[in-house]
Amino acid sequence: MKYFFIKQMILAQTVALKIDEPEFEKLKSSREVLLSAKAIEEKYDLLVSNFLELEKEILSQLAQKMIFVQDSYQHFYELNSILNRRVVNLLTSTKLYYDQIEKHVRTCMKDQKKFGTEAKSYFSDEYDAHFEYRFMEALRNHVQHYGLAVHSLSLPSKWVGEGEQKQLVNQLKIFATKDELSQDKEFKKTIFREMPEKVELIKAIRVYVGCFSNVHKRIRELTQANVSSSRSNIEALIYRYKEANSGDAIGIYAYMVEADDSTAKPIEKFALFLDWDNVRLHLREKNHYFPNISQWHISGSCL
């Protein structure tokens, strides 16, 4: 026979609230749903943060170009190396997101396999709709198994405007080239035939990340009802315990014992506080939807 309780796991004497097995299992399932929802947001945050680091690196390098003389072969080699590192970090995080999303969505949807399959179809939709997505996926595979992503770069500058409004605009362009990719015999042939002689990676990456933003929005919408109800289940239990324990629910656990005794040693237990799930809510608020980020840019112009 199994018995189920909720109480604070502290040294002082405290209230034990008895619950039944279905409620214990519902709380356990709700916690698993929230943990998977948090994992989805964390992996998306990793992806977005790596994208931000690449964008910041580009701006930092342009600021240095504007101020310092840096035209040696060694400088260009080091710049190429830094940009490759940033791009590889981003591609690693997109792969992590793609590979793990199905299992997390399936858990959020109470182990219904069809929803994991549906989530994977969102990536296929972006693949079919955008050359940049197809190319970056092929480039990611190239980086995993053959070579680097950034094959050449340029630092063009030009004057724009007239008179006192005239400004020197500095740019950084990075490329993956067809010539370099031709050395990789495993590079996807259909993408190789589709690509131009060189692909400007900053724009391609922005489109690519915008595609992941589309996918993430759809995954949030797919899982939202189950995730919200799971949080509500735990919040309701916390409220019940507070009512029974003078408003104090700090450090409460749900647990199972083999005797009808709340002080018996638990054979299974899990925490019921939600501070960690508040992190998920923060990440959800922080990482907003930006499908058109390829059309945005930052300017340092003072005019």
* The Cα angle at residue 199 between residues 198 and 200, in degrees rounded to 5: 120
Cβ atoms of residues 280 and 37 within 8 Å: yes
pLDDT at 83 over 90: yes
**Beta-ladder partners of 253:** 7, 271
Q: What is the pLDDT of residue 68?
A: 87
pLDDT at 111 over 90: no
Each residue of 116-162: pLDDT tens digit? 999 999 999 999 999 999 999 999 999 999 999 999 999 998 888 88
Q: Which structure tokens are listed for 237?
A: 């239990």
**Beta-ladder partners of 248:** none
Q: What is the pLDDT of residue 100?
A: 96
Q: How far apart are CA 231 and CA 108, in angstroms?
A: 12
Q: What's the average model confidence in pLDDT over 173-194?
A: 97
Confidence band, pLDDT 50/70/90 cuts, at residue 284: very high
Strand order from edge to edge, sheet including 198-200: 152-154, 173-177, 198-200
Q: Of 209, 215, 202, which is closest to residue 172 (Cα–Cα)?
A: 202
pLDDT at 300 over 80: no
Q: What is the pLDDT of residue 66?
A: 86
Q: Which structure tokens are listed for 264?
A: 């018996």
Q: What's the average model confidence in pLDDT over 30-37?
A: 97
Q: What is the pLDDT of residue 71?
A: 81
Each residue of 243-272: pLDDT tens digit? 999 999 999 999 999 999 999 999 999 999
Q: How far apart are CA 106 and CA 226, in angstroms?
A: 11
Q: Which CA distances in Å does 71 have to 62, 77, 109, 154?
A: 13, 10, 55, 11
Q: What is the pLDDT of residue 101?
A: 97
Give the sign of the dihedral formed by CA 52, CA 57, CA 58, CA 63: positive
pLDDT at 303 over 70: no
Q: How far apart are CA 16 and CA 3, in angstroms?
A: 12
Q: Between the CA atoms of 198, 202, 101 and 143, what dihedral angle is there, to the nearest 10 degrees?
A: 50
Mean pLDDT of all residues in the chain? 94
Query: What are residue 169's phi and psi, to 5 degrees?
Result: -95, 125
